[in-house]
Amino acid sequence: MKYSYYPGCTLKTKAKALDAYARASAKALGFELEEIKDWQCCGGVYPLGADEIATKLSSVRALADARDHGQELVTLCSACHHVIKRVNDDMKNVDDIRTRANNYMQLDTPYAGETNVLHFLEVLRDRVGFDELKKKVVNPLSGKKIGAYYGCLLLRPSEIMTFDDPENPKILEDFIRAIGAEPVVYPYRNECCGGYISLKEKEMAGRMTDTIQASASGFGAEMLITACPLCQYNLNQTVDGLPVLYFTELLAEALGVKEEAMA
Amino acid sequence: MSNVSKIEKQAALIREISGVNPYKCMKCGKCSATCPAFDEMDIKPHQFVSYVQEGNIAALAESKSLWKCLSCFACVERCPRDVKPAKLIDAARQIVEREKGGDYLMADEIPTLLDPELPQQLLVSAFRRYRR
């Protein structure tokens, strides 16, 4: 199975490992991520204004490219996923945005939200299946107690993201079980890490991540996993906090392709 | 333009940019109860909705809350009346940033804010939220 793939700016720079472990794992699981040609940065945050058009066009380009290849579009970074999924919803359901975006783009075939956007975790759950994943694990991470950190962007607004139950998600816990480890459910796993506030207001961001870290370690987690480079960065600012890993690193480790991924 | 008509226009603009109907609010306060930035805000999310209803736009434009909202969408998810306070806050922020001199982040500031681990995602997100 081949998917169109949108890596995003940070996966080409500070979060190369998030990308490399995902590609190697995809290969081991029997699907291919075909990177979109000439993709552009999603902007990191979804433009909320109903009159914002230009800031949505990079997402529309990626979406239309996947549509033209007849492929579903896979994302990995939580922020890219959030932005592209919401722009796709606009293109499908908001006449004014669809018309004006298409006027800018002048595509051969106007785009109207035809592409299905999947986060890499959704590919694991809905296309591969966690039971199948479990069968392909050669190096189960037995005994590891792992706290899933969801953050905001994958879950909310749930009406559009349709990712999981926004108040009591379980996709990452199911993933943790599939790779042979033990999930630790803790109260702050879907609370905000501070996001972009950490650029100018480090103290405010620090108070938020300290609370999340204390919540996870208090419930017995030994490490946290995330899909988002910014969540990882923010959570790492807590002094003596739990280590924060990308979920794809543990996936590659369980599938026995960790070394090869970074070669 | 008279002061009154400018205020009316800006209130209408906030409703248009946000696509939100603030009059549906039933003042339950769930948005403020769930907001992770509540302590940092001078005008709280539920109050923000009232200010828009009353057309008190000058106070919103001066509010620190514009720069404290995290776009975490907790209030959007949990609002029982679909009022979406984060969208109103963003619309007020847009009105400020679209005026000359309204940016909250300057390119010149960036070098002093960087550290070796800082992800690009943080810079692009902050640029998009804090300036035109």
Token digits of residue A206: 């620090």
One-letter amino acid at A192 equals C
Residue A118 β-bridge partners? A74
Q: Are residues B77 and B112 in the same domain?
A: no
- Among A196, A209, A236, the strongest candidate for a mutation testing the B interface, having the largest count of B CBs within 10 A, is A196
Q: Which of A177, A186, A185 is nearest to A142 (CA)?
A: A177
Q: Are residues B80 and B115 in the same domain?
A: no
Q: Which residues make Cβ contacts (< 8 Å) with residue A174, sequence separation at least 6?
A: A125, A130
B18 interfacial to chain A (CB closer than 8 Å): yes
Q: How many CB atoms lie within 10 A of CB B96?
A: 18
Q: Which of residues 105-124 of B touch A (CB under 8 A)?
A: 105, 109, 113, 117-124
Q: Do B70 and A43 touch (CB under 8 A)?
A: no
Query: For chain B, how many structural domains are there in total?
Result: 2
Q: Are residues B81 and B27 in the same domain?
A: yes
Q: Are residues B110 and B81 in the same domain?
A: no
Q: What is the DSSP letter of A127?
A: I
> Considering chain A, what is the average pLDDT of its residues?
97
Q: Is the pLDDT of residue B4 over 80?
A: no
Q: What is the DSSP letter of A182?
A: E
Fold of A130-256: Rossmann fold (3.40.50)
Q: How many CB atoms lie within 10 A of CB A101?
A: 25
How far apart (Å, rounded) are the C-alpha atoms in residues B119 and B113?
A: 12
Q: Which of residues 113-132 of A touch B (CB under 8 A)?
A: none
Q: Is the pLDDT of residue B3 over 80?
A: no
Q: Is the pLDDT of residue B11 over 90?
A: no
Q: Which residues make Cβ contacts (< 8 Å) with residue A203, sequence separation at least 6?
A: none
Q: Are residues B118 and B61 in the same domain?
A: no
Q: So where are chain A's domains?
A: 2-120, 130-256
Q: Is the pLDDT of residue A213 over 90?
A: yes
Indicate the residue of B91, B117, B121 with minimum beta-carbon distance to A44: B121
One-letter amino acid at B46 equals H
Q: What is the number of residues in chain B?
A: 132
Q: Are residues B112 and B89 in the same domain?
A: no
Q: Are residues B13 and B74 in the same domain?
A: yes
Indicate the residue of B40, B68, B122 with minimum beta-carbon distance to A230: B122
Q: Are residues B67 and B125 in the same domain?
A: no
How far apart (Å, rounded) are the C-alpha atoms in residues A16 and A97?
A: 33
Q: Are residues B12 and B47 in the same domain?
A: yes
Q: Which of B45, B31, B122 is nearest to B90 (CA)?
A: B45
Indicate the residue of A47, A50, A194 with minimum beta-carbon distance to B16: A50
pLDDT at B10: 85
One-letter amino acid at A79 equals A
Confidence of residue B8 (pLDDT cuts 50, 70, 90): confident
Q: Which of residues 2-21 of A touch B (CB under 8 A)?
A: 8-10, 13-15
Q: Are residues B69 and B95 in the same domain?
A: yes
Q: Are residues B23 and B76 in the same domain?
A: yes
Considering chain B, what percentage of its residues have pLDDT values greater than 70?
Answer: 98
pLDDT at B1: 58
Indicate the residue of A47, A155, A233 with minimum beta-carbon distance to B118: A233
Per DSSP, helices labelled H in chain B are 3-18, 30-34, 45-54, 57-62, 74-78, 85-97, 110-113, 120-130
Token digits of residue B59: 């106070």
pLDDT at A235: 98
DSSP string, A199-245: TT-HHHHHHHHHHHHHHHHHTT-SEEEES-HHHHHHHTTSTTPPPEE
In this structure, whether the domain defined by A2-120 belongs to CATH 1.20.1640.10 is answered with no
What is the mean pLDDT of the segment spanning A252-263?
95
Q: Are residues B61 and B112 in the same domain?
A: no
In this structure, are residues B35 and B41 in contact, taking their beta carbons and an 8 Å threshold? yes
What is the mean pLDDT of the segment spanning A137-161?
98
CATH of the domain at B22: 1.10.1060.10
> Residue B101: is it exposed, middle or buried by C-beta count within 10 angstroms (0-12/13-18/19+)?
exposed
pLDDT at A263: 84
How far apart (Å, rounded) are the C-alpha atoms in residues B38 and B64?
A: 11
Q: Which domain holds residue B29?
A: 3-99
Structure pTM? Answer: 0.97
